Amino acid sequence: MTSPITTSRQGDVLIITSDNPPVNALGAAVRQGLQAGIEEAAGDDIKAVVITCAGKTFFAGADITEFGKPMQEPSLPVLIDAIEALDKPVVAAVHGTALGGGCEVALGCHYRIAVPSAKFGLPEVKLGLLPGAGGTQRLPRVAGVELALEMAAKGDPIPASKAKDAGLVDRLAGEDSLVADAVAFAREMAAAGGPLPRASEKQASASPALFETFRKTNAKRFRGYEAPADIIALIEKTTGMPYEEGVQLERQGFMKLIMGTQSAALRHIFFAERKAAKIDGIADDIKLRDVKRVGVIGAGTMGGGISMNFLSAGIPVTIVEMAQDALDRGTGVMRKNYEATAAKGRMTAEQVEGAMGLLKPTLNFDDLAECDLIIEAVYESMDVKKEVFGRLDKIAKPGAILASNTSYLNVDEIAASTSRPQDVVGLHFFSPANVMKLLEIVRGAKTADDVLATAMALAKKIRKVAVVAGVCYGFIGNRMLMPRQVEAMKLLMEGATPEQIDRVHVAFGMPMGPFQMSDLAGVDIGWHRDPTRIENIRDALAAEDRWGQKKGKGWYDYDEKRNPSPSPRVAEIIEEFRAKSGATQHEVTDEEIVERTLYTMVNEGALILAEGMAQRASDIDVVWIYGYGWPVYRGGPMFWADTEGLKKIVAGLEKHGFEVAPLLREKAETGERFNK
Ligand code: 3HC
């Protein structure tokens, strides 16, 4: 097998180039090739060395697929030490993203030159790990403890300009002359002579207060995650320590995390997210439909949010409403949202105008004839949707994709109201649609392959994580939400309180519990709006104007700062219903809440999988992580079920009299997992 590493010479400068698509991951062959390159660099005729990468990026990290397998020599830390130990200048020439082990290779080099578009980062934390090839030790010494903490504990990359200001990059290269500039730099440094700047030989220092402040400021973001806490503690402990001792502690910390469940869960999600983009039975190279302009029907919260995704990606949008005031209100909200983003410094004023400039608001439905993809975001009623699709069928151009943003309804029935069901697909965005990452792409019985593939490609363009779902009530996400909601309400009747159920969910790692979520979304959503018709606790709350946060009261009472407190009135209402129903009360334990509200979701997931409504178990995990805030460190409901043990899940379900999904039972009995 040919090595992904080649060497070439420009005079007395040795250029070591890696070409290991797609991201130059530092797998065994790359490490072995680099080692050979370093040996070659020791030759007398070489005065300086440049390490660079071909393709779209500098090394994007260790090869994650090798984790958990026997390690092949040389290990990355050993290799990087060998680079640093060379007694002639070594320059890292960086383009794309120098991430994780890639950033650590760059730190092992004596000098770093980067194109302005390059980025540097230590994203190991996002895989539940800490940097394990010297990153926690060399980065603080090169760029300061504060930035190192920020980069290692949060995992977000920084641009080359910031890296330059911090001393992580020594020089910026021309965007198109990286290698030439790197060779010139290397030669210059060789000619200058003098001691080589080795990161491991530098000192780092920080005040103890820095760590405490950092912990406090980021407490919410890090809640439940092991790796950030370990990273902060490691850098705190090793700052001021000799390099060799620090690096040993780093190694131990890395090994501890890589064996843990959280890292397994986070790595699972890394690959699950990428796998979700692959559609069973459709070739990767299928010809896509051209989508130059998108139409959106409805300028309400959903339609506006959906439109913003496309505008932000530079795709023009025609948005249709029935009345001028609704149209003005909708576009006004979109502008306000963009301006709020700009006020936070995440967009420039020009970008706001650029995005809004791509929007064409109109009252004329026929204007949709110019669109290549039309998404309806109108009232959730089959009759209304059918009427809209019937009209679309008459005016849309041939080959245009017709999409429904329905969250529950039967996409095949909607498609049947057109003469072109092959062009119809479900695009279920999650609210707020301009923020939430998840998109369920609903594959109808007749949806054409190229329509599906085009929707998937567009999802990537608008930076969504998309999952293909089949046609069933609630698709993947909302269908699994249903048993959870049903059980939560039953538990109230049997003795639990909203506070207890929410507390259990938050402790599990959810951003909020079912009742907190209901108060945020609006208790009145989907309510029949007849205050005299009170059939359940929810009806009673809605009838008393307890619509949630927007009214200052819902399942909880809220103060003017929207801080919740348990509501005596809600307790009374629950008590009235308990008395009326005659339901037997018992002491509800936290464990019972988990079994009845979370195990039942897994059970529903197993049914979804067996029915082929999700392509794979990991897709279900992706839905819950990106659509509902399931804690990433638990890897999604199906991965979590695997780690709980499927036998335990089955026993828990049986204890409460639930019918166990056959696929779940079968896997529990054979010892198989949902995610292999
Ligand atoms: N190892 C193995 N495979 C990797 C990989 C890695 N580090 N990074 C990406 N890939 C694979 C992806 O799985 C994907 O495979 P597929 O085509 O079969 O689905 C392919 O490369 C392309 O990846 P993306 O679709 O993500 O490509 P993008 O262009 O969108 O993004 C990227 C590129 C920003 C580099 C992104 O892939 C990324 O963030 N990668 C992970 C980086 C990372 O976490 N590095 C740290 C690794 S841990 C480490 O280094 C430990 C060390 O401290 C010891």
Looking at residue 362, its pLDDT comes to: 98
Q: Is the pLDDT of residue 363 over 90?
A: yes
| 494 noted as active-site residue | no
Q: How confident is the model at residue 114 (pLDDT cuts 50, 70, 90)?
A: very high
* Structure-block tokens of residue 624: 């819950």
Q: What is the DSSP string of 355-413?
A: HHHTEEEES-GGGGGG-SEEEE---S-HHHHHHHHHHHHHHSPTT-EEEE--SSS-HHH
Q: What digits encode the pLDDT tens for the residues 461-471?
A: 999 999 999 99
Q: How confident is the model at residue 68 (pLDDT cuts 50, 70, 90)?
A: confident
Phi and psi (nearest 5°) for 411?
-65, -30
Looking at residue 674, its pLDDT comes to: 97
Instruction: Give the residue, out of 63, 64, 151, 154, with the most ligand 1 atoms within 8 A of its beta carbon, to mutate for a pocket test.
Output: 64
Q: What is the DSSP string of 226-245?
A: HHHHHHHHHHHHHTTS-HHH
In this structure, which residue's CA is closest to atom 45 in ligand 1? 61
Contact 457, 373 (CB under 8 A): no
Q: Which of 436, 478, 475, 477 is nearest to 459 (CA)?
A: 436
| 201 noted as active-site residue | no
Q: What digits encode the pLDDT tens for the residues 552-610?
A: 999 999 999 999 999 999 999 999 999 998 888 999 999 999 999 999 999 999 999 99
Cα(62) to ligand 1 centroid in Å equals 9
Domain at 294-474, CATH homologous superfamily:
NAD(P)-binding Rossmann-like Domain (3.40.50.720)
Q: Is the pLDDT of residue 493 over 80?
A: yes
E-only strand ranges, 500-591: 556-558, 564-566
- As assigned by CATH, the class of the 496-584 domain is mainly alpha
Q: Which of 588, 527, 594 is nearest to 554 (CA)?
A: 527
Looking at residue 461, its pLDDT comes to: 97
Cα(578) to ligand 1 centroid in Å equals 53
Q: How confident is the model at residue 526 (pLDDT cuts 50, 70, 90)?
A: confident
Q: In what order do the strands lie in the sheet with 294-297?
A: 359-362, 317-320, 294-297, 373-376, 401-404, 424-429, 438-442, 465-469
Contact 224, 509 (CB under 8 A): yes
Q: Is the pLDDT of residue 427 over 80?
A: yes
Q: Is the pLDDT of residue 335 over 90?
A: yes
User: Where in the chain do CATH 3.90.226.10 domains reside?
Assistant: 5-258
Provide the percentage of residues in the chain whose pLDDT is more than 70: 100
Q: Which of 567, 477, 559, 473 is nearest to 515 (CA)?
A: 567
Q: What is the ipTM of this complex?
A: 0.98
Q: What is the mean pLDDT of residues 60-88?
A: 95
* Structure-block tokens of residue 652: 């828990």
| Amino acid in position 243 | Y
Q: Which atom of ligand 1 is nearest to the CA of 104?
A: 53
Q: Which atom of ligand 1 is nearest to the CA of 102?
A: 50
In this structure, which residue's CA is closest to atom 31 in ligand 1? 23
Looking at residue 284, its pLDDT comes to: 86
Q: Is the pLDDT of residue 1 over 80?
A: no
Looking at residue 132, its pLDDT comes to: 96
**CA separation for the pair 520, 510 (Å, rounded):** 14
Cα(467) to ligand 1 centroid in Å equals 19
Fold of 5-258: 2-enoyl-CoA Hydratase; Chain A, domain 1 (3.90.226)
User: Where in the chain do CATH 3.40.50.720 domains reside?
Assistant: 294-474
Contact 466, 446 (CB under 8 A): no
Q: How confident is the model at residue 676 (pLDDT cuts 50, 70, 90)?
A: confident
Looking at residue 584, its pLDDT comes to: 86
Looking at residue 525, its pLDDT comes to: 85
